[in-house]
Chain A
Amino acid sequence: MSDALIMTGRSLRLSLRSPDALLTALLLPVMLMVVFVYLFGGAIAIGTSYVDYVVPGVLLLCAVTGASTTAVTVCQDMTGGIVDRFRSLDVPGTVMLAGHVTSSLLRNLVSTVLVAAVAVGIGFRPHSDPARLAAAVGVLLLFVAAISWLAAASGLAVAAPEAANGVMFFLMFLCYASSAFVPVRTMPWWLRGFARHQPATPVTETLRGLLLGEPGGGQLAGGQLVAALAWSGGILAASVLLSMVLFRRRTA
């Protein structure tokens, strides 16, 4: 346990020492939110305030951009030789990775708060209560944990840190091709099936339901919550397992 704390502290310190990556992870979601609300928002007629609609989607994007740091640092650890030092100090691979994931969760917490604060500043008006707000934070954290472990796995799978970043672009596409920014019904018919049945949509819809739980904002459908938890839990479990396998293979 104390090894995990040391590794988390290290990962946090490394994040703070790389201000460009930190700023990107913090500011990119805010900027995207501003772009969507003020540039695209006017053209997107969804029958409700667009800023209310888009904030849950931006929170998802936030998780993905934040996790890409994890992919890169994990890959750097594996290629830079420090992994051997940790292993010879008897730090298990899962603990090493858990340090990166925990620090990713903390970074995301900060960027989420930042996005939420800016969102409220530009007109986001959630209709929620403490219990639903807590539930929303829980759903989001589970998603962030899942994406962070997936990022760790992709950091283990690729040979170079640059490639690790590329994997995360694919995940950003998942956010765009979901109900995060525009309603699925406005998409071409061939994309709708995919958009409805991929993880980003149920997670967005669940957040939307929990944060804006009233007419106009959309009611929380039980099916979406179950789907969101199942997707996040499934990705989390699969990524942890995949990471363990990849770590073993990488260090064989």
Chain B
Amino acid sequence: MNDELAIEASGLAKSYGGVRVLGGVGLRVPRGSVFALLGPNGAGKTTTVRILATLVRADAGQARVAGFDVVRERRQVRRRISLTGQFAALDAAQTGEENLRMIARLAGLPRTAARRRAAELLEQFELTQAGRRLVGTYSGGMRRRLDLAASLTGHPSVIFLDEPTTGLDPQSRLTAWRAIAGLAAEGVTVFLTTQYLEEADRLADQIAVLNGGLLVAVGTAAELKARVTAQRLDLTCSTAGAFEQVSRLLADRVVHLDPAARIVGAATDGSAAQVRALLDQADPARDLVASFAVRGATLDDVFFALTGPTQEVAHV
């Protein structure tokens, strides 16, 4: 066992009714770091989290969390972790304060300590005012914040967050990000899953990309970005002929082609210098490109790059 690792897993496999969800996943998460498991719907993210959080038993493979085996030493693991699932796991008919107090009591705090902890967390997550209201009246962002507060209640050393910002509006997402960054600042290990590259980029020290139950890449955000395109320059061509020409001129920079809309997408870091250079390269006579847009790479682009057949063209 390695003391420096909060999570250590190898060969995790799981099938449901003959359908393989995980096909042998291994992970190493250092203590005190933020780890993001990035992947599309159905990639196996939730299953991985549930195995690590002792809720589901893997068909094969081993995992240790906070130094304990997730199957044989389940109780010890549970005492050191917390899990916040995709749905806000709170009682709508209890107030925020009541929810936190209940969770603190279940985590083993005596009555008065539970009350104190609930008040502390409400303050930390800027919910003191809302603490006396029923959770049913909260906005999505407030619920998420309370959910995150709940995950801290028992002073866990490892926190699992399953898609913590899915379904939130941009403003609430920012607030949730601040809250998650706050968790990391407390020194706990955070293991989160996400569908958003930007989220992983912002929060995580290490990112693992999961697709179809297998890890396709592991590394820091910078390392992954070196392998995939961080931004995409989309050029809308004036004619079908121009579309052909531009895609030929950009050659190995092309990461996206949409003939119907006459859009050619090229990998870029988004800097003005590079965008200018790309425009010159694509359109030397200045009559092929009608308009352009720079957009963040989507997860599709990442998978296109990491798993697609044109992997060789997908570098910055």
Contacts and interface: CB of A to CB of B under 8 A. Distances in A.
Interface in B41-62: 50, 53-57
Contact of B78 (A18, A90, A251, A252): A90
B78 A88 contact: yes
Contact of A6 (B54, B87, B106, B160): B106
Contact of B106 (A81, A91, A252): A91
Interface in A1-46: 2-3, 6, 9-10, 13-14, 17-18
A81 B89 contact: yes
A14 B56 contact: no
Given A84-B85, A85-B83, A90 B75 contact: yes
Given A88-B83, A90-B75, A251-B55, A82 B90 contact: yes
Interface string A58-100: 0000000000000000000000111011111111000000000
Given A81-B89, A88-B81, A89-B103, A14 B94 contact: yes
Nearest to A251: B55
Contacts of B102: 6, 9-10
Nearest to B81: A88
B98 A88 contact: no
B139 to A, nearest CB: 18
Contact of A85 (B50, B54, B75, B150): B150
A125 to B, nearest CB: 41
A2 B81 CA distance: 20
Given A14-B93, A17-B134, A251-B55, A85 B85 contact: yes
Given A6-B106, A10-B102, A84 B94 contact: no
A17 B81 contact: no
Contacts of A3: 106
Contacts of A88: 53-55, 78, 81-83, 160
B107 interface: yes
Contact of A82 (B55, B57, B89): B89
Nearest to A85: B89
Contact of B89 (A6, A10, A14, A84): A84
B40 to A, nearest CB: 21
Interface string A120-131: 000000000000
Contacts of A87: 54-55
A17 B94 CA distance: 8
B154 interface: yes
Contact of B87 (A80, A251, A252): A80
Contacts of B54: 87-88
Nearest to A9: B102
Given A84-B85, A86-B106, A90-B75, A252 B150 contact: no
B86 interface: yes
Contacts of B81: 88
Contact of B91 (A2, A14, A89, A91): A14
Contact of A252 (B56, B89, B93): B56
Of A3, A9, A88, A252, most buried by chain B (CB within 10 Å of CB) is A88
Nearest to B49: A84
Given A85-B85, A88-B54, A13 B98 contact: yes
Nearest to A252: B56
Nearest to B154: A89
Contacts of A82: 89-91
Given A6-B102, A17-B94, A89 B89 contact: no
B96 to A, nearest CB: 14
Given A84-B85, A85-B83, A88-B83, A6 B105 contact: yes
B249 interface: no
Interface string B54-86: 111100000000000000000100110111111
B88 interface: yes
Nearest to A81: B87
Contacts of A86: 106
Given A6-B102, A6-B105, A90 B79 contact: yes
Contacts of A84: 50, 53, 55, 83, 85, 89
Contacts of A251: 55-56
B107 A89 contact: yes
Contacts of A10: 91, 94, 102
7 contacts: A10-B102, A13-B93, A14-B93, A84-B50, A88-B81, A89-B78, A89-B106
Interface of B: 50, 53-57, 75, 78-79, 81-91, 93-94, 98, 102-103, 105-107, 134, 150, 154, 160
Given A84-B50, A88-B81, 9 more contacts: A10-B91, A13-B98, A14-B91, A84-B53, A84-B85, A85-B103, A85-B150, A87-B54, A88-B83
The 3 closest A-B pairs by CB, nearest first: A81-B87, A17-B93, A88-B83
